[in-house]
Amino acid sequence: MEYDFSKLNDREFETLAASIIEKEVRKKVEIFKSGKDGGVDGRFWIGVEKEGIIQCKHFLETPYPKLISKLKNEESDKVKKLNPGRYIFVTSKKLSRINKQEIKKIFHPYIHNEQDIWGMEDLNAFLSKKENQDIVERNYKLWITSTSVLDFLYNNAIKGRSQSTIMEIKEKTHKYVITANHSKGLKILEENNVVILTGEPGIGKTTLADNLAVHHMAKGYEFCDIEENISEAENLFRENEKKKILFYCDDFLGSNMYDAINNKKDSHIIKFINRIRKDKSKKFILTSRTNILNKAYSLSHIFQNLKIRDNEFLLKIENLSSIDKARILYNHIYHSNLPEKFIDIIYQEKRYKEIIKHRNFNPRIIEFITDSSLIGNLEPENYWSYISRSLNKPEIIWADYFQNQTDDCVRALTYLTVFNNGKISEDNLRNSYNLFLNIHTVNLGDYSDKSFEAVRKLATRSLLNRNQIEENKYEYVLFNPSIADFVLSTYSNEIHLICNIVKSLDSEVSIDYLHASLISNKINNSNSGRILENLFDYFFELKLEGQDWNFLIALCYLDFFNEKINKRIELFLNTLINADHPSGNRLWELLMILSEFEPQIKFKNFKFLYNFIDEVYDEDTLKKLFAFVDQYNIEDEDILMQIDVLLKQYLKGIVDSNDFDIDYSKHLTYYQHPDGYSDHDVDINGIENEISESLDSYMDGFNVNVLDRIYFHTSSVVAGIDIDGKIIRYLENYEPDYDRDSHDYYVGRSGEDDIDAIFERS
């Protein structure tokens, strides 16, 4: 039997080799995380002292002379240094008898005989034995691309379209990475016989569906791609009641959703799904864009009554760990056919981490940026810009989905959530949605229910997530952060729309989000003046009458250089400073605006500041307050006392933070007690002095005149710090240095984290 080792990347090949050798030598083989291996891909013990070492070279397409050159010039010295009791060499290349003799000579005397040299023929022969099929099945990609399984797949596919689908699936298997989603999908399918894979575009619904299908086909299921032709599937069901059949439907309902429901085909579909639920010899895998399934569910009482969603498995990018993402990226790069110079760009300065950690990480984008056929005439030096642009421009994924597959009402809920900084309570979203429908022209489209309850069900689990925060209370967040980027980039010039969204939200959060979007140019900054004038006309009198000082400060701060609204800003400031006990938490913005309008503002006193400096902990705001107090020579004792308390709280917070680094070890003296146990002395004064010196550096930039006025000294902060508690916590986490075993350099302690290890180049 032939196995296609080309579908494995180098890491996967090493895992396979370790499994084979473990079974061959009947000893446990240790495998280590990916990375620089010092010539070791696996290790087993011969007795208690001697090591057996496994080295793998997945050089399938590498010319034999190049392999020999690498072994002579690099690997042989590593083996001498390791001095193993036995050395086993495994390669995916075909090897002749003469080739093996040459390799044995290179590694003399560590390779005992040629049986410890494994080439492609040896691997195929071993894996073809019935007793070793467990190894094949554990190595998923090897299993599903074996000649026996592929023949089985083709022969078990219903003729025509199903065979074509199998061919397409086979071509993509080499890029597949098994994650927790694979196991969960298999579990749902095993328990329910039906699974509906849903999620955002590009999340990997079809890829997972393909591989769940292949898994069951290899287990004896015939494959039927029905493309929603339920009649065809029902006929096949009736004719083969005893046969194991897997039905497959990618993009369930899709563009035919309304036709399916209006013509009562929903009953037909549900009856078929329920038949499969009750028959263990049949399986049904479906994929659906979440918004389509939501819409169908809202329109079809049959879908609701028969609980079609009990079979749903929602795929989310949060389900993927950083290691999953790293393996997905690495696998795509490995099989990409990208020129080496382009791959170097991804490795430069460990840029692969930027891709993995990017909030728009998505398997479809990864496939897009590593597809050598899409690069065209791009020069290597422009490749990173191409990658960044692809990650930062979510239009690639969201354009068709958002604009063509949803209606204005679903889009409205999305707009509102985006401009509330991606999170909003259910009550606020409901109120904002109803207001938005009243003040903004909305195309209601069909005659379906447009109430908040109806529309939020359509948006939930496609563009939004609904999370319970406490009993009977919910909040909505964006299904994926890239939705916000798409909305901003697409509608940044729609001033009327943006203003109506913010008016409907009526929240400081939305004003802040708008401001941040203008500053970052996600919304065209040249529009800020017109947006501010529009919002001022709508909000100003209402908020001034209600003395909503925080909202007005946020609104003014959007653009307080706007001449058309200067008079109203002056009115607001004069009203604020003369109000009885005004309060708020936007001191930084207030001081900035006051400084700009200072000539027009007449301060009688500064008591209005009392309730604005009640909770100020960030450095920039404190420094701005110090400068303001000095500029106006404020002598109010209550204000000065507040400043003193806030400064101490701020500095104590710094000392308690993880960023404050004190070297406790140099203040500890260890000694051996006469009774035999170890003990230590602590130089408390030394620690206090080091903390004081460090705090003094944090005081740079604070106005010294104000510091003198409040009689401040860092010793007053140090006196309130629990030094003893810090020493105890330090000792609890203290690990003294010790000598490493001479072999530790290759057992995964490279100093690199697991992601770096995956991308480590040999």
Residue 224 CB partners (closer than 8 Å, separation 6+):
158, 162, 232, 233, 236, 245, 246, 247, 248
Degrees, nearest 5: CA angle 318-324-329: 110
Could you tell me the two tokens for 205? 């619904």
Whether 422 and 547 share a structural domain? yes
User: Which string of DSSP letters, residue by residue, matches 72-89?
Assistant: IIIIHHHHHHH--SEEEE
Residue 614 resides in a domain? no
First to last CA, the chain: 31
| 89: CATH | 3.40.1350
Q: What's the CA gap between 1 and 148, in Å, rounded? A: 7
Q: What's the CA gap between 382 and 460, in Å, rounded? A: 38
Let me know: does 92 contact 142? Beta carbons within 8 Å: no
- What number is the average pLDDT over the span 153-167? 61
Listed residue (158, 164, 169, 248) closest to 211, CA to CA: 169
Looking up tokens 């930039």 gives 701
Listed residue (750, 755, 756, 636) closest to 37, CA to CA: 750
Residues 15-30 have pLDDT tens digits of: 889 999 998 989 898 8
Residue 201 has pLDDT above 90, yes or no: no
Listed residue (121, 119, 91, 124) closest to 1, CA to CA: 124
Degrees, nearest 5: CA angle 598-604-607: 95
Degrees, nearest 5: CA angle 612-615-616: 90
- The full length of the chain comes to 762
Report residue 36's pLDDT band, with 50, 70 and 90 as the boundaries: low
Whether 309 and 335 share a structural domain? no
- On the CB side of 264, CA atoms within 13 Å amount to 0
Helices 205-218 and 161-172 pack at an angle, to 10 degrees, of 110
> Which range has the top average pLDDT, 64-68, 183-187, 506-510?
506-510
Report residue 749's pLDDT band, with 50, 70 and 90 as the boundaries: very low
Question: In which domain, by residue range, is 365 found?
Answer: 320-392
Residue 137 has pLDDT above 80, yes or no: no
Task: Supply the mean pLDDT for the chain.
Answer: 82
Q: Which residue has the higher pLDDT, 262 or 425?
A: 425
Residue 264 resides in a domain? yes
Listed residue (185, 244, 190, 180) closest to 211, CA to CA: 185
Q: What is the pLDDT of residue 740?
A: 34
User: Which string of DSSP letters, residue by residue, matches 383-432?
Assistant: HHHHHHHHHH-THHHHHHHHHHSS-HHHHHHHHHHHHTTTEEEHHHHHHH
Q: What's the CA gap between 670 and 680, in Å, rounded? A: 4
Let me know: does 604 contact 578? Beta carbons within 8 Å: yes
Which of 100, 133, 166 is where one domain is finished? 133
> Which range has the top average pLDDT, 278-292, 368-382, 505-519?
505-519
Q: What is the pLDDT of residue 295?
A: 67
Whether 277 and 157 share a structural domain? yes
Whether 550 and 667 share a structural domain? no
- What number is the average pLDDT over the span 265-292? 78
Residue 569 has pLDDT above 90, yes or no: yes
Residue 623 resides in a domain? no
Looking up tokens 């010793």 gives 715
Q: What's the CA gap between 717 and 630, in Å, rounded? A: 23
Residue 434 has pLDDT above 90, yes or no: yes
Cis, bond preceding 481 (omega within 30 deg of 0): no
| 242: CATH | 3.40.50.300
Q: Provide the 3-class DSSP secondary structure of residue 108.
A: coil
> Which range has the top average pLDDT, 213-227, 389-403, 507-521?
507-521
Residue 684 CB partners (closer than 8 Å, separation 6+):
667, 723
Give CA separation, 263 vs 253, 456, 636, in Å: 13, 25, 78
Whether 297 and 191 share a structural domain? yes
Q: What's the CA gap between 13 and 615, in Å, rounded? A: 58
Give the DSSP letter of residue 583: B
Q: What is the pLDDT of residue 365?
A: 85
Q: C-alpha dihedral over 223, 228, 232, 237, to 10 degrees? A: 60
Listed residue (75, 634, 401, 529) closest to 67, CA to CA: 75
Q: Which residue has the higher pLDDT, 363 or 174?
A: 363
Report residue 412's pLDDT band, with 50, 70 and 90 as the boundaries: very high
- What number is the average pLDDT over the span 96-104? 92
- The region of weakest confidence among 161-175, 279-293, 552-566, 712-726 is 161-175
Residue 151 has pLDDT above 70, yes or no: no
Residue 608 resides in a domain? no
Degrees, nearest 5: CA angle 83-87-90: 140
Let me know: does 225 contact 163? Beta carbons within 8 Å: no
Could you tell me the two tokens for 109? 């005397």
Report residue 211's pLDDT band, with 50, 70 and 90 as the boundaries: confident
Give CA separation, 666 vs 173, 660, 683, 690, 694, in Å: 57, 16, 9, 11, 15
Degrees, nearest 5: CA angle 70-72-78: 90
Whether 479 and 561 share a structural domain? yes
> Which range has the top average pLDDT, 232-246, 567-581, 693-707, 739-753?
567-581
Listed residue (568, 602, 583, 295) closest to 458, CA to CA: 295
Q: What's the CA gap between 283 and 245, in Å, rounded? A: 6
Number of domains, the chain: 5
Whether 584 and 678 share a structural domain? no
Q: Which residue has the higher pLDDT, 143 or 744?
A: 143
Whether 36 and 82 share a structural domain? yes
Report residue 419's pLDDT band, with 50, 70 and 90 as the boundaries: very high
Q: What's the CA gap between 109 and 379, in Å, rounded? A: 48
Q: Which amino acid is at 106?
A: I
Q: What's the CA gap between 144 and 614, in Å, rounded? A: 65
Provide the sign of the torsion angle of the four alpha carbons 166, 171, 174, 180, taken in this order: negative
**19-22: long-range contacts at Cβ-Cβ below 8 A with a sequence spacing of 24 or more?**
19/135, 19/138, 19/139, 20/90, 20/118, 20/123, 20/126, 20/127, 20/132, 20/135, 21/54, 21/88, 21/90
Residue 423 resides in a domain? yes
Q: What's the CA gap between 116 and 12, in Å, rounded? A: 20
Provide the sign of the torsion angle of the four alpha carbons 710, 715, 718, 720, taken in this order: negative
Let me know: does 413 contact 456? Beta carbons within 8 Å: yes
User: Which string of DSSP letters, residue by residue, matches 470-517?
Assistant: ETTEEEEEESSTHHHHHHHHHHTT-HHHHHHHHHHH-SHHHHHHHHHH
Give the whole-number percent of the chain exceeding pLDDT 70.
84
Q: What is the pLDDT of residue 735?
A: 45
Can you name the residues that pair with 289 across neighbouring β-strands?
199
Q: What is the pLDDT of residue 513?
A: 92
Residue 23 resides in a domain? yes
- What number is the average pLDDT over the span 54-66? 86
Q: Which amino acid is at 711?
A: Y
Report residue 200's pLDDT band, with 50, 70 and 90 as the boundaries: confident
Residues 603-638 have pLDDT tens digits of: 888 889 988 887 766 788 888 999 999 988 988 898
Residues 381-411 have pLDDT tens digits of: 999 998 998 888 766 667 767 777 788 999 9
Whether 673 and 592 share a structural domain? no
- What number is the average pLDDT over the span 504-520? 92
Which of 340, 358, 392 is where one domain is finished? 392
Q: What's the CA gap between 135 and 350, in Å, rounded? A: 34
Listed residue (416, 372, 414) closest to 394, CA to CA: 414
> Which range has the top average pLDDT, 159-168, 362-371, 547-556, 562-571?
547-556
Q: Based on the number of CB atoms within 10 Å of its own CB, is 86 exposed (0-12), middle (13-18) or buried (19 or more)?
A: middle
- What number is the average pLDDT over the span 32-49? 73
Let me know: does 683 contact 691? Beta carbons within 8 Å: no
Q: Which amino acid is at 526?
A: S
Residue 559 resides in a domain? yes
Whether 572 and 495 share a structural domain? yes
Q: What is the pLDDT of residue 667?
A: 85
Q: What is the pLDDT of residue 752?
A: 42
Give the ranges where 53-204 is alpha helix by DSSP (H).
Answer: 64-70, 76-82, 97-106, 120-128, 133-138, 140-144, 147-156, 161-172, 180-192
Residue 742 resides in a domain? no
Whether 334 and 185 share a structural domain? no
Report residue 737's pLDDT band, with 50, 70 and 90 as the boundaries: very low
Report residue 748's pLDDT band, with 50, 70 and 90 as the boundaries: very low
Residues 639-679 have pLDDT tens digits of: 999 899 888 888 888 787 655 677 778 888 877 666 666 67
Whether 309 and 325 share a structural domain? no
Which of 705, 721, 737 is where one domain is finished? 721
